[in-house]
Amino acid sequence: MDGGQKVEQLHGDVAEEDPGRRQRSMVDEANGDEKAPRRSKRVASLDVFRGLTVALMILVDGAGGEWPVIGHAPWNGCNLADSVMPFFLFIVGMAIPLSLKALATKLTYGVDMKHVRWGGILQRIPLAYLVVAVLEIVTKDAKIQDRSSSGFSIFRMYFPMACTDNSPHEGPFKNDAPAWCVAPFEPEGILSSFSAVLSTIIGVHYGHVLVHMKSHTDRLRQWVTMGIALLVLGIILHFSHGKKLINNSYICVTASAAGIVFSLLYFLVDILNLRYAFAPLQWIGMNAMLVYVMAAEGIFEGFLNGWYYEGTNSTLVYWVRKHVFVKVWHSTRLGILLYVLFAQILFWALVSGVLHRAGLYWKL
């Protein structure tokens, strides 16, 4: 077990280390400079940004119901909660060039695209089955008894229909609402997934800048310029933007926010070396999977809520939230916000810090 943890720790350090610092350390070793202080090779701002994203997820899930500005926008618009998913996509994309660069120094990998058979019959069958099966599941309950038999009326059942009389706002479903209105998946489906890929690609570009440019000034110039350009483009395209459809304006605005926030964190943490101020977020970022599962998904609170006294409302979580936060501040909204900030985010930041000191990380 110790060996496995050690391998995971080494892999994490290599995967997200600063290529510029690594190159400088190799030069120092080659010159025999053993007295030179060894600087941390890991890009701390990546961990801080990842920790910030996980903390935002916990915040919007826990306090979004009491604070509308924190929760998701109903349709158009972009609140704080609407930036969480793009931030995740951005950091995932940014980590890809760093991971691949680390792998390239260890092994030879890849596929000769010349010998790949695209669109072969065996590949085509499952692809066609997947697409048609999904379409059939979505439209299987479509009402066709009122369709006329003239012309191409049968194809009308494939046309999109509104769920409510006041769509896209909330309200009771129409009698002839399509089946996907109550389906357990996103009605936009794969189209939104294609749009979400663009946010990840922007993150990949930021990662390439980190890999190929060694100067802090050059990196910040590239990142900030692209962030501002995306913001301007998002404003120009502002006929509407929102997470529901992940349109171009939403992609540009949220990717711009991610890029500018990361640039600011890079300047503060990796250039000015203000790591202690952001240590809680860095600890969360280094154990992001643990905090996500236990706090964002509510596994830990769910376990605690399983133990109660006399009634299901007499749990430790309920008592702490009510008596330590809500009653002390005489406000449900403020009490819940402080409970999320301290009893969830700060608590798991401290747990992650202890695990970091012990060299324990939860990774796949």
Look over the chain and give the mean of its residue pLDDT values, rounded to a whole number: 75
E strands present in 257-310: 308-309
pLDDT, residue 247, reads 76
Residue 339 has pLDDT above 60, yes or no: yes
Two tokens at 60?
């919007």
Reported as half-sphere exposure (CB side, CA atoms, 13 A), residue 61 has a value of: 15
pLDDT (tens digit per residue) in 65-119: 888 888 877 766 788 888 888 898 888 888 888 777 665 555 454 556 665 555 5
DSSP alpha helices (H): ranges in the chain? Answer: 2-15, 19-30, 44-63, 84-104, 121-139, 190-212, 216-236, 248-265, 279-286, 288-291, 299-305, 316-319, 327-329, 332-338, 347-357
pLDDT (tens digit per residue) in 288-297: 999 999 998 8
| Residue whose structure tokens are 């009510």 | 322
Assess whether the previous peptide bond of 37 is cis (omega < 30° from 0). Answer: no
Residue 13 has pLDDT above 60, yes or no: no
Nearest to 55 by CA among 87, 96, 78: 87
Residue 137 has pLDDT above 80, yes or no: no
Residue 115 neighbours by CB under 8 Å, 6+ apart: none
Residue 7 has pLDDT above 50, yes or no: no
The separation between CA 240 and the C-alpha centre of its own chain, rounded to angstroms, equals 22
pLDDT, residue 255, reads 92
Task: Please state, in angstroms and rounded to a whole number, the distance separating the CA atoms of residues 257 and 320.
Answer: 35
Task: Please state, in angstroms and rounded to a whole number, the distance separating the CA atoms of residues 62 and 81.
Answer: 11
Task: Please state, in angstroms and rounded to a whole number, the distance separating the CA atoms of residues 282 and 163.
Answer: 43
Helix (H, G, I), strand (E, B) or coil at 307: coil
Task: Please state, in angstroms and rounded to a whole number, the distance separating the CA atoms of residues 72 and 326.
Answer: 24
Task: Please state, in angstroms and rounded to a whole number, the distance separating the CA atoms of residues 44 and 20.
Answer: 14
CB–CB of 244/168 below 8 Å? yes
What mean pLDDT do residues 339-345 have?
93
pLDDT (tens digit per residue) in 185-238: 555 555 666 677 788 888 888 988 998 888 999 999 999 999 999 999 988 887
Counting beta carbons within 10 angstroms of the beta carbon of residue 349, is it exposed (0 to 12), middle (13 to 18) or buried (19 or more)?
buried
Two tokens at 137?
């599941």
pLDDT, residue 124, reads 54
pLDDT (tens digit per residue) in 228-273: 999 999 888 875 555 566 778 888 889 999 999 999 999 999 999 9
